[in-house]
Structure 1
Amino acid sequence: MASWVHDDEGSHFSLQNLPYGIFSTEASPARVGVAIGEHVLDLKVLAEGGIFDDLDFDVTALLQPTLNAFAALGRHVQSRVRQRLQDLLKEDTEFGNVLRDNHTLRGRALVRLSSVTMHLPMVIGDYTDFFVGLHHAVTCADILKPGATIEQLCPCFFNLPIAYNGRASSVVVSETPLHRPHGQFPVEATVVSGPCRKLDFEVEFACFVGKGNKMGEPIGVDSAEDHIFGFVLMNDWSARDIQMYEATIMGPFNGKSFCTTVSPWVVPPEALDPFRVAPKKTPRTLPDYLVEKSELSAYDISIRATLEVANGQTYKVADCNTNNVIFSFAQMIAHHTRGGCPLRTGDLIATGTLSGPDRENAGCLLEQTRGGKDPYEMVAENSSTGNVLRTYLEDNDRITFTAQASGAAGNVGFGSCSGMVLPAP
């Protein structure tokens, strides 16, 4: 599907993609846009120009500074808007006079990506981080207790998607820096209070909820995807020393609550349909409420993590994949609401770390360094300056995730999910 808005061959934003985001420029406040090639298409301008008037929905949802109102309208509305945009933007469009050849509207509606500032796409009421990565669970079990199986450490892991409730107020958009957190943790025979010494990243994939459910009314597994607005990359920054000390009794708290980074563009489910695969198989018998009619409920999308140090040199950290899960988002949502929990528009739901089976596919330093005992050598990209060793992250390190899936219809990417570690305040 070629577009008359031409892009670079490696662009993340083909006509197959059309992700939603919130952007601003020096001349305009935050508003809804769609990425196409090297441009942002301003949906507020199109809505005010009457482009969607015949689609039978409340177009004021596209005049807001967040995506919540539009996401709450449901998949049927979003699909119609997506189809309208594809019709307007495709190279052989029959509606050239509406946008392509309407130079006044086109000049107002198309903005160069390089000139915009991206914002957190949704107001997030709640954030739930699951733990459904197969290889991450197995490796962490062995690190915590060598020789132990994941069943011994977590008997329910294969039978249900387990999770913890995270801190929504510290979810930030890509390029927002974070401070190294303070906390308590053991050092040798004592417990100290001070800046984290074992700061880590976690490669994750996440979805935003579109339409929620009423309290006490579970969402069925085969209708759960109708409640997904779209997908983002996510970095669940982790203070491992703080986390390990506090989580022995109650689970994650300050070790996880200081920052979580998401990519700025929300990729719609239709864009990812060509990349569907089955979740990883495990020996288990699931209860009926988790049994899906379709086996192709996960996605095959490679995610690369890179490290940039203070001098600007970058290093390859890991290559992960969204297919390293044993439960789908539909199963996560079905289980999340099973007991009556109400999800709301803008809720963020994440997979947990998406590690592969090998060290170079591990999605966090905890795994790559065997709990900090074996420093990991990262390979320099396009440089002869040599490689770099890391046990955990240092101040002024920048971690960036990128992901791009390529299909017959074009590239589907997310932009970058990036953040730099500042010294502890």
Structure 2
Amino acid sequence: MSTPASWVPGSRGSGYDVDHLPYGVFGLRAEGPASRRRIGVRIGDHVLDLAAAVRHERWAGHVGGGTLNPLMAAGRATWDEVRRWLQATLVDHDSAAQHVSEHLVRLEDVVLHLPFDVADYVDFYCSLDHASNVGRLFRPDAEPLLPNWRHLPVAYHGRAGTVVVSGTDVVRPTGQRKAPDDPAPSYGLSTRLDVEAEVGFVVGTPSRLGEAVPTSAFADHVFGVVLLNDWSARDIQAWEYVPLGPFLGKSFATSVSAWVTPLAALEPARVPLPGQDPPPLPYLQVEEPAGYDLALEVEVDGEVVSRPPYRTTYWGPAQMLAHLTSNGASLRTGDLFASGTVSGPEREQVGSFLELSWGGREPWSLGGEERTFLRDGDEVVLRARAGTVSLGEVRGRILPPASRPRFVEFGKES
């Protein structure tokens, strides 16, 4: 059954019609940096000031602030109620809808902010194709996958404080690195700066410490979905990650969409997971369909260089959530967990330049020029579509440091 059209001009076919209705936080451009932050819902090329439009609804108190966290914490019943009200109001142009139209703002007139306060950030490693490619690159004489990979969704714990909203510039990081032939490590700017095209899941309903969340409760806890770019300094990462995993090579910035797509909007995009062999342990088993058919794009300086398919991802988000809490770790409102790099089986479907350039040994072409990793000034944009729904893009430009950091080595300042 087709979704009824909205009365808001330009919404039909935009990717942001009433079948989507993503949430964000915005200020008015005309008011400058001091503009009050408001919760907004995107419909076409307009943003609905939600608090102003719903003053008399019983859940109005959840949307009156400058972050989505109170609404996310209210739980699934409230999310569903707000969504039903939005869809009904934006389809039926009655007197109530005419009142709502007073609170529509053109997208070009707003400034978008990080939509939720990030509590914890966990990044998984769920793409079989990506993990296999990385294994072949770093362990060419061994099995690509480590023994545990097909038994559990591997992850690392990231830095919540460096999650930034789309459009935020990313400063090239500095750190310690060591090439295989170097006699000793050195300290300097990363020369192998990379992207990771990922799908992020935002937790709304918390859980209690000591209680695991089953895969069947995924939709009761996860509020919505964002695109995510886990920027990665491969040279720093390669030197530091043994034996405890990524640290400074990834903690300098992680970019997310300004718009959070409600999980309900992706219900038509659900697909079965790829076959899992061996079958996962009982706590990781899911009722299908447990995956999502999202078609991603990686664009550099206006040119699409890759199209990763999320539907091929081996471990599903409900399994990520179940494993994350399987030891009794609690969920908090605003927790963010991500899929890890999304890559398909073909070279033009990979979600990182590490794979696209095969470790820097096989350059790819951008505007007729050979490239491997990111250069200063490059602008990366991630996009994704699920049927008629367009997820909020993730955009970031690489900047050089304003000045080299000073540090002391063996008592000498340099």
TM-score tier by shorter-chain length is over 0.9
Write the distance in 2 (CA, Å) between the matches of 1:185 and 1:10: 48
Question: 1:162 maps to which residue?
Answer: 154
Are 2:210 and 1:216 aligned? yes
Q: 1:141 aligns with which of 118, 135, 140?
A: 135
Do residues 24 (structure 1) and 27 (structure 2) align? yes
Alignment of 1:353-372 (within 5 A): 353-372=341-360
Q: Tell me, yes or no, if structure 1 residue 236 matches structure 2 residue 193.
A: no
Deviations 1:285-332 (A, max 9, x none): 21111111x211110010111001xxxxx2221101221211111111
Residue 98 of structure 1 pairs with residue 99 of structure 2 = no
Does structure 1 residue 295 correspond to structure 2 residue 272? no
What is the DSSP-based 3-state SS (H/G/I as helix, E as strand, rest coil) of the residue aligned with 1:150?
coil
Q: Letter of the 1:228 partner, please give it.
A: V
1:22 counterpart SS class:
strand
- Please state if 1:178 is matched with 2:170: yes
Q: 1:225 and 1:80 mapped to 2: Cα distance?
A: 15
Deviations 1:80-120 (A, max 9, x none): 11001100111xx2x610123x3xx522x100011111100
| Superposition RMSD in Å | 1.3
* Residues 230-261 of structure 1, C-alpha deviations (whole Å, 9 max, x = no match): 00000000000000000012111100000000
Residue-by-residue CA offset, 1:27-59 (whole Å, 9 max, x unaligned): 4411111000110011010122x1x23xxx4x2
What corresponds to 2:244 in structure 1?
250
* Residue pair 2:6, 2:12 contacting (<8 A) in 1 also: no
1:38 alignment partner AA: D
Which AA in structure 1 matches 2:208? K
What is the aligned partner in structure 2 of residue 381 from structure 1? none
- Selected match of 1:11 from 11, 14, 28: 14
Superposed displacement of residue 8, structure 1: 5.8
Structure 2 unaligned blocks of 5 or more: 403-414
Cα 1:241–1:79 change in 2 (3 A) is: same
Structure 1 stretches of 4+ moved >4 Å: none
Maintained 8 Å contact 2:12/2:44: no
The one-letter code of the counterpart of 2:20 is N
Whole-angstrom CA distance in 1 between matches of 2:339 and 2:289: 16
Q: Which amino acid aligns with 1:22?
A: V
- In the alignment, is the contact (CA less than 8 A) between 2:260 and 2:392 conserved in 1? no
Q: Is the 8 A contact 1:246 1:253 kept in 2?
A: yes
Q: 2: CA distance between counterparts of 1:43 and 1:388?
A: 46
Structure-1 separation of matches of 2:341 and 2:15: 23
Structure 1 residue 225 displacement after superposition: 2.1
Q: In structure 2, what is the Cα distance between the partners aligned to 1:171 and 1:128? A: 11
Identity %: 40
Q: Structure 2: how far apart are the matches of 1:8 and 1:122? A: 25
Contact 2:18 2:43 in 1 (8 A): yes
What CA distance in whole angstroms lies between the structure 2 residues aligned with 1:65 and 1:207? 20
CA contact (8 A) 1:225 1:329 kept: no
**Whole-angstrom CA distance in 1 between matches of 2:51 and 2:257:** 21
* Cα-to-partner distance string for 1:346-369 (whole Å, 9 max, x where unaligned): 000100000111111110010111
Q: Secondary structure at the match of 2:393?
A: strand
TM-score, scaled to structure 2: 0.92
Q: TM-score, normalised by structure 1?
A: 0.90
- 8 Å CA contact 1:150, 1:157 repeated in 2: no
- Find out whether 1:419 has 2:396 as its counterpart: yes
Which of the numbers 283, 286, 305 marks the counterpart of 1:317? 305
CA distance in structure 1 between the aligned counterparts of 2:353 and 2:142, rounded to whole angstroms: 20
Q: Is the 8 A contact 1:302 1:319 kept in 2?
A: yes
Q: Distance in 2 between matches of 1:88 and 1:412?
A: 19
The structural deviation recorded for 1:282 is 2.8
The Cα offsets for residues 333-382 of structure 1, whole Å up to 9 and x where unpaired, read as 1111110101100000100000111111110010111111111123xxxx
Give the aligned partner of residue 81 of structure 1: 82
The CA distance in 1 between the partners of 2:392 and 2:293, in whole Å, is 17
Cα deviation code 1:378-417 (max 9, x no counterpart): 3xxxxxxx423211000010000111222xxxx2112210
* 3-state DSSP of counterpart to 1:142: helix
Number of positions where the alignment pairs a residue of Structure 1 with one of Structure 2: 393
- Which residue of the partner structure matches residue 2 of structure 1? 5
CA distance in 2, matches of 1:273, 1:144: 38
* 1:40 and 2:47 matched: yes
Residue type of the alignment partner of 1:306:
E
Gaps of 5+ in 1: 309-313, 379-385
Do 1:134 and 1:280's aligned partners in 2 also have CA atoms closer than 8 Å? no
Letter in 2 for 1:82: R
CA contact (8 A) 2:11 2:17 kept: no
What secondary structure, in the 3-state scheme, does the structure 2 residue paired with 1:135 have? helix
1:397 to 375, 378, 381: 378
Residues 4-47 of structure 1 show CA distances to partners (whole Å, capped at 9, x for unaligned) of 00216652201100111101103441111100011001101012
More divergent stretch after superposition (282-291 vs 209-218): 282-291
In 2, Cα distance between the equivalents of 1:73 and 1:114? 30
In the TM superposition, residue 203 of structure 1 has moved relative to its aligned partner by 0.4
